[in-house]
Structure 1
Amino acid sequence: MAALWTVRNVLGSVSVRLRFGTSRTALRQVCVHHYRRCSSTHFTKPEYPAFNKSSLRISTQSRFFRSSTAVNGQVVQFKLSDIGEGITEVHVKEWYVNVGDTVSQFDSICEVQSDKASVTITSRYDGVIRKIYYSVDDTAYVGKPLVDIETEAVRAVVPEQDVVEAPAVLNEEHTHQEIKGQKILATPAVRRLAMENNIKLSEVVGTGKDERILKEDILNYLAKQTGAILPLSPEISPPPPEPILSKPKGIPSVSKPITPTLEFTEKDRTEPVKGIQKAMVKTMSAALKIPHFGYNEEVNLTRLVKLRKELKAVTEERGIKLSYMPFFLKAASLGLLRHPILNASLDENCQFITYKASHNIGIAMDTQQGLIVPVVKNIQVLSVFEVAAELNRLQTLGSANQLGTNDLTGGTFTLSNIGSIGGTYAKPVILSPEVAIGALGKIQVLPRFNDKDEVIKAHIMNVSWSADHRIIDGATMARFSNLWKSYLENPASMLLDLK
């Protein structure tokens, strides 16, 4: 049911038509001000007699006519914005809100996993969550709504005058605990666990991102309070032994063969390809279009092992762990300066080659979430120590699954340290649009001959290269590998080319 009223200013011949509806819980307000000495204001007959005009009040003072509108309870669709790098879909990993929760701007709503990185989505509005479109493990699409948020009213600033208004109901349910106005970040599952054990979240120290309280924090807090470690599963007591019955004399004892009965209860299960696995499917499928050329080499790292041992204590005093990888990366960057074709990309139609100015070298890294390739950028202008510091940062974020999209994109060349897990040789797959990649084997202590034909102990590492044979020939790959090898076998030679 709706009613239509007209407020008319006779002198100014200006009218405002107000429509009041009962189908939506909204607040409509109109400030009516008349010109000086205006004395004629009247109502026209309502179109619907059920409308009660007793709640309508008109101000007859002020200088001019103006109206403003404010709406309470407007529901907006919060859509997944473009994350970049051509990403069109993401995998929902975790929700930080429930329907009915009150959120403010920049509050975390959910965490999603793209084929590049894990991203936390934050709110752009103040209001109440009214609908959640996806469940955990669902695939969300860029440009589609994630949640519906009932936003708070935003009224225009007007002088204090009598207004036409109807009451609006605003239902707010606060589900977040707060400490001095600051919200405690925790998922609904963690809050439920804390409530079941009568634990106040304000007493628990969060170890997650932005001091978010994790399930492990609750369990650790509970263990400290009770002094016990929670069992992983209930203990199963063995059945009591059967009584031994005495046998009559003269009857020989016959031992029965013990044949344990094994029941196989496992069943096949089908899981969707998602997250990092989905990214691997896409990347490896694109790699099939590239004709790979392979090249293997052996590198004697005996001098580098000695140099790293001397510098390790120095870098640790400066708060940085020094591995062999910073030397491998810097040597690769120096080699790319001489052979820029390995730091290039080829367009899809194979018509143009783009030579990259920056040496952004990716490092294949194995994590609990799967294989990721963070990128150390602009190595051509970094020192070995600066490369080590950046590696430390990426490894710390990678182990916590907090690498951003910028950390995982923009690579121009890749090294895979497969030797940290095992193996000496590999056949690495090129990550398009790059044109070359190297796989580093484990460092082994092996006997080798020195210049005097004496058998000595040597630290040997094998490297396996793959290159795009459409634009890189075998001779170019061999020359690059020889130069890279020379820098590592004689680390002091890098000083001549460092800038």
Structure 2
Amino acid sequence: MVEVKLHDIGEGMTEGEIIHYFVKVGDAVKVDQPLVEVQTDKMVAELPSPASGKVKEIVVHDGTTVSVGTTLLVLESEEVKSVEPAMEMKAEEGLPKKVEMLTQPLPTDASTQKGEKRFIMAAPYTRKIAREFGVNINEITGTGTSGRITVEDVYNFVKKSDMIQSPEKMRATSVKTTEQTTELKIPSQEIQNKKETNVEVLPFRGRRKQIAKKMTQSLYTIPHVTHFEEADLTELLAYRNDLKEMGINISAAAFFIKAIAVALKQFPVFNAKLDEENEVIRLEKEYNIGIATDTEDGLIVPVIHHADRLTVREIHDKLKELTKKAQENKLTPAEMKGGTFTISNVGPLGSIGATPIINYPETGLIAFHKTKKMPVVVENDEITIRSIMTMSMAFDHRVADGGTAVAFTNRFKQLIENPKLWPIELA
């Protein structure tokens, strides 16, 4: 017998939620065939079979959150393969190397008659979308590399099958399905209470639970101080428009990240981590900027490594790539670790101010809020219309003081308010 257990598949995870089994009791499986889809606090991953054999028992049911080391299912097998090599992560996709060629045997009627199996190549997120639409992924023809099925393939299949609905109906169907699934997983007494009080019950697990733990740890460990400031983006926005006319489109956030990296070099105390046990403040030599990103499953922080070495254009491209992968749940562990300072660009959402919580164990976090035009008094007491952005910087008062925080944001302001300085300051 072989026990398939939940093991650590990314940066010290302690638990995971069982989303979906690809097999059932009695199914024959091969080495490296995906058995189960697991949601950790940072990613969705497939666990492959360590051996060939037959599924004897499924121990943990869908929707259950279990700790690392828990037995998920049992195989009848004699040949056992180490699981660790199969879970080595692909840097470019956030999926296990073996998963790229892993298969899900979902035979069509024709192939079943011939005793053949069709091998499916699709990322966990793509499989999830197919299940939400009630689509048999085995029936979809992939247009990706080596026949991989993409999300677009799923949507196109749904459209051709006349299964797609209006956005309103899709949302209603999704909500209804979620509620039905949730009700099946909560005790009958809770269901009764839900009906009596007309309260919607949401699961508190997976990424949301991990976010809660980390925020609580940060807030109860770090004495937070928030420093508020304004920056005049008029010249920077004009510079961006000039670049657009030249066919170069660079986001304002890319300029912010580069300016932060430059300012951190002058004020390294904010690119530091406090080691209380050894009574030292460790000044990091790498400038890795975390980007707080809002996703459907909750907040996640991909990291732009060595931001000080990248050009603004390279930062823009990397920011765009990481944001897309975060939204599609395709980030790798390497793309989410090693951060030394975090930014949160909430301005596009409409925020005018906040008291952000630091991404523990970092020392600082700066949030950029809405930019709006307003009358400003300039030289010679003249009033003019300028584009003003508000920002709030939270810092660990054990490591840095208010005066240093003000000096740091002043340096950042100087850079983004005066684009003409960039050729000599950011080289």
TM-score by length of 2: 0.76
Match of 2:148 among 189, 205, 211: 211
Q: Are residues 1:177 and 2:113 paired?
A: no
Residue 36 of structure 2 corresponds to: 110
Partner of 1:290 in structure 2?
222
Q: Give the unaligned 5+ runs of structure 1.
A: 1-74, 155-173, 235-263
Asked if structure 1 preserves the Cα contact closer than 8 Å seen for 2:60 and 2:71, the reply is no
Q: CA 1:350–1:108 in 2, change beyond 3 Å: closer, same or farther?
A: same
State the secondary structure of the residue aligned to 2:370.
Answer: coil
- Cα root mean square deviation, aligned: 3.4
Tell me if 1:267 matches 2:198.
yes
Superposed CA offset, 1:435-458 (max 9, x none): 111111111111223324332221
Which whole-Å CA distance do the structure 1 matches of 2:159 and 2:146 have between them? 22
Q: Give 1:132's match in structure 2, choosing from 54, 58, 61.
A: 58
Q: Secondary structure at the match of 1:309?
A: helix
Partner of 2:422: 494
Alignment equivalent of 2:11, drawn from 77, 85, 88: 85
Give a deviation string over 1:207-241, Cα, whole Å, max 9, x none: 89983577x9667535424598587689xxxxxxx
Does 1 or 2 have the higher relative contact order (CA < 8 Å, sep 6+)? 2
Moved more, 264-273 or 367-376: 264-273
Cα 1:408/1:153, change in 2 over 3 Å: closer
Deviation at 1:128, TM superposition (A): 3.2
Q: Could you tell which deviates more after superposition, 224-233 or 439-448?
A: 224-233
* 8 Å Cα contact 2:291/2:344 also seen in 1: yes
Cα gap change, 1:135 to 1:181, in 2 (>3 Å): closer
On the 8 A contact 1:361/1:411 being kept in 2, the answer is: yes
- The AA in structure 2 aligned to 1:395 is T
Cα deviation for residue 302 of structure 1 reads 0.7
Q: What is the TM-score of this pair, normalised by structure 1?
A: 0.66
Change (3 A) 1:491 1:269: same
Once the 2 structures are TM-superposed, how far is the Cα of residue 331 of structure 1 from its aligned partner? 0.3
For 1:403 and 1:116, how far apart are their aligned partners in 2?
8
Partner of 1:485: 413
Identical residues among aligned pairs (%): 33
Is structure 2 residue 337 aligned with structure 1 residue 401? no
Residue 184 of structure 1 aligns with an amino acid whose one-letter code is I
Maintained 8 Å contact 1:92/1:110: yes
**By how many angstroms is 1:357 displaced?**
1.1
Structure 2 residue aligned with 1:310: 242
Hey, which of these two has a bigger chunk of helix by percent? 2
State how far apart, in whole Å, the 2-side matches of 1:469 and 1:362 are. 20
Equivalents in 2 of 1:228, 1:281: separation in Å?
Answer: 36
**Distance in 2, Cα, partners of 1:493 & 1:124:** 57
Deviation at 1:152, TM superposition (A): 6.4
One-letter code aligned to 2:314: E
Tell me: CA distance 1:139–1:226, structure 2 relative to 1, closer, same or farther (3 Å).
Answer: closer
In the TM superposition, what is the alpha-carbon distance from 1:106 to its structure 2 partner? 3.5
Map of 1:121 onto structure 2: 47
Instruction: Please name the residue that 2:313 is paired with.
Output: 385
The structural deviation recorded for 1:403 is 1.7
Give, as a single letter, the amino acid of the residue that structure 2 aligns with 1:274: R
User: For 1:85, what is the secondary structure of its paired residue?
Assistant: coil
Counterpart of 1:69 in structure 2 is none
- Tell me the alpha carbon deviations over residues 232-262 of structure 1, each in whole angstroms, 9 at most, x when there is no partner: 689xxxxxxxxxxxxxxxxxxxxxxxxxxxx
Question: Helix, strand or coil: the match of 2:325?
Answer: helix
Query: Contact 2:16/2:40 (CA < 8 Å) preserved in 1?
Result: yes
| Correspondence 1:353 to 2:258 | no
- Do residues 201 (structure 1) and 131 (structure 2) align? no
User: Of the candidates 71, 75, 94, which is equivalent to residue 149 of structure 1?
Assistant: 75
Q: Distance in 1 between matches of 2:56 and 2:255?
A: 54
* 1:401 aligned counterpart, secondary structure: coil
Tell whether 2:298 aligns with 1:370: yes
Task: Name 1:27's counterpart in structure 2.
Answer: none
Q: SS of 1:110's equivalent?
A: strand
Q: Which ranges in structure 2 are unaligned for 5 or more consecutive residues?
A: 81-103, 174-194
The equivalent position to 1:97 in structure 2, one of 4, 18, 23, is 23
C-alpha contact 1:116 1:409 (8 A) present in aligned 2: no
Q: Is the 8 A contact 1:177 1:184 kept in 2?
A: no
Q: Return the alpha-carbon distance in structure 2 between the equivalents of residues 331 and 192 of structure 1.
A: 44
Q: Secondary structure at the match of 2:342?
A: strand
The answer for the alignment partner of 2:255 in structure 1 is: 327
Q: CA deviation at 1:144?
A: 2.2
Contact 1:185 1:213 in 2 (8 A): no
1: distance between equivalents of 2:16 and 2:376?
A: 52
| Structure 1 Cα separation of the partners of residues 264 and 154 of structure 2 | 50
Q: Can you list the C-alpha shifts for 1:131-180, whole angstroms capped at 9, x where unaligned?
A: 222222211221222222334669xxxxxxxxxxxxxxxxxxx9433899
